[in-house]
Amino acid sequence: MPIFNGKLALQQRVLPAYRLAFFDLLAQSCEGGLALFAGEALPVESIPSAGEPTLARLTRAHNRHLFHPRHPLYTCWQPGLLDWLAASDPAALIIEANPRYPFTRQAIPWMHARHRPVLGWGLGAPPLGGALAPLRSRARNRLLRSLDGLIAYSRRGADEYRALGLLPPEKIFSAPNAVAPASQLPITNYQLPISNLRSPISILFVGRLQTRKRLDLLFRACAALPPDLQPALTIVGDGPARAEFEQLAAAHYPRARFTGALHGEALAAAFAAANLFVLPGTGGLAIQEAMSHGLPVIVAQGDGTQDDLVRPGNGWQVPEDDLPALIAALTTALAEPARLREMGAESYRIVKEEINLEAMVSAFIEALEKIRNT
């Protein structure tokens, strides 16, 4: 794994628990260590507060929010960011590539005055909608143009940044999103005895229970399957839409079982008991975690993260909000249990060899070194 010669600083709006392993591995790959600056999410976001990283040095920001993060005028002020930057004195800075954080925009000239690079990290640059789209596009373009480089969560995101023409193509990089390290992959489902493929097939969903996860589609799709194909369905997670989803499950698919949020060994046991992972709405990181347990996957098309992870050999991508397509994919998957084991093996290979925390960190370090040397 490459090493960054210097101290790195990294700003985030919030620090979710699933990022701790990444930041610690990134800190381990920087000679001068990693300084983090991140605050708390709004309660309505249902993002559990992360604990302290082991290796990265975290400074807690006191976030001040205006509107909900999904509101087109959402703004997050992070006072103290420049003081943190001065105290950290990094050789390079990575920020969220989001124009809605006013103090982040001030950090860019601070670094440039000291001839140090600033890279943005983001999902990409999909078309913006609504009456405020022209204003938001101009703000996004001003921010991106001021950066020295960009790191996208996916290849599609990198292509979207390149299509804007704001930075030279060679300054835009892809670091596929990951939460599972290749060095610690578990015993996988496809390696278990054939008896694990019991009847009915067990489907698993893991994630925050928000409306955009579209579990309503999954309940209706399972109910529409022939009786001999209807699966056992386990929903792992908690969130603001849990009560709503439980009511929908009772109405459409009472066989669905809600466990609440699980962590550690309990979550690993849930993955081990499943035969297929399904994400009917938006999201992405749980896909890679499921694949690390040797599970084939069915996911809705989204921000591009899915494109890197889900291929014909290990799963199915279905159009967003398309119930017939989800039913068709479930029918195909559940009708061939033996094929699920083969697809699970391919999921495991992708995570072990291509998309994992080590590869993500390596992509960050390589981007930093290329930008600093240009």
- CA angle 127–322–220, rounded 5-degree value: 140
Residues 253, 119, single domain; the answer is no
Cα 331 from Cα 286, distance rounded (Å)? 22
How far is CA 178 from each of CA 105, 165, 244, 306, 359, rounded to the nearest angstrom?
27, 27, 30, 11, 9
Residue 200 has what pLDDT?
84
24 and 95 belong to one structural domain: yes
Residues 164 and 198 in one domain: no
| In a shared domain, residues 187 and 256 | yes
Number of domains in the chain: 2
Is residue 54 a part of any domain in this protein? Answer: yes
Same domain, 126 and 186: no
- Considering the domain boundaries, does residue 206 fall inside one? yes
Please indicate, yes or no, if residue 67 is contained in any of the structural domains: yes
Do 344 and 201 reside in the same domain of the chain?
Answer: yes
Q: Is residue 3 part of a domain?
A: no
199 and 157 fall within a common domain: no
User: Which among 134, 262, 266, 254 has a CA at the least distance from the CA of 207?
Assistant: 262
State the pLDDT at residue 187.
Answer: 59
Say what the pLDDT of residue 194 is: 46
Domain assignment present for residue 156? The answer is yes
Check whether residue 328 and residue 360 sit in a common domain: no
Spatial CA neighbour of 215 closest among 187, 180, 248, 167: 248
Same domain, 362 and 214: no
Domain span at residue 16 reads: 8-178+356-372
C-alpha closest to that of 172 among 186, 188, 155: 155
Q: Please list the pLDDT of the chain residue by residue as tens digits (374 residues).
A: 789 999 999 999 999 888 999 999 999 999 999 999 999 988 877 677 778 899 999 999 999 999 988 888 999 999 999 999 999 999 999 999 999 999 999 999 999 999 999 999 999 999 888 889 999 999 999 999 999 999 999 999 999 999 999 999 999 999 988 888 887 776 565 554 444 455 689 999 999 898 889 999 999 999 999 999 999 999 999 988 999 999 999 999 999 999 999 988 899 899 989 999 999 987 767 898 999 999 999 999 876 678 888 999 999 999 989 999 999 999 999 998 888 988 999 999 999 999 999 999 999 999 999 999 88
Res 189: pLDDT: 56
- The pLDDT value given to residue 191: 52
Per the domain annotation, does 2 fall within a domain? Answer: no
Same domain, 317 and 169: no
| CB atoms near residue 352 (< 10 Å) | 17
Which residues make Cβ contacts (< 8 Å) with residue 315, sequence separation at least 6? 296, 297, 298, 299, 343, 347
Residue 307 confidence (pLDDT) = 80
**219 part of a folded domain:** yes
| Residue 207, CA distances (Å) to 46, 128, 235, 243, 283 in order | 11, 26, 8, 15, 8
Do 145 and 125 belong together in one domain?
yes
Query: What CATH number is attached to the domain comprising 304?
Result: 3.40.50.2000
pLDDT of amino acid 143:
97
Query: Could you give the CA distance from residue 246 to residue 253 in angstroms, rounded to a whole number?
Result: 10
Whether residues 157 and 266 share a domain: the answer is no
pLDDT of residue 123: 92
User: How many other CB atoms are there within 10 angstroms of residue 76's CB atom?
Assistant: 23
Measure CA 28 to chain center: 21
Query: Would you list the DSSP string of 177-221?
Result: ---S-GGGPPPPGGGS-GGGS-SSPEEEEES---GGG-HHHHHHH
Instruction: Report if residue 249 sits inside a domain.
Output: yes
The predicted structure's pLDDT at residue 184: 75
- Measure the CA–CA gap between 280 and 306, rounded to whole angstroms: 12
The whole-number pLDDT of residue 193 equals 45
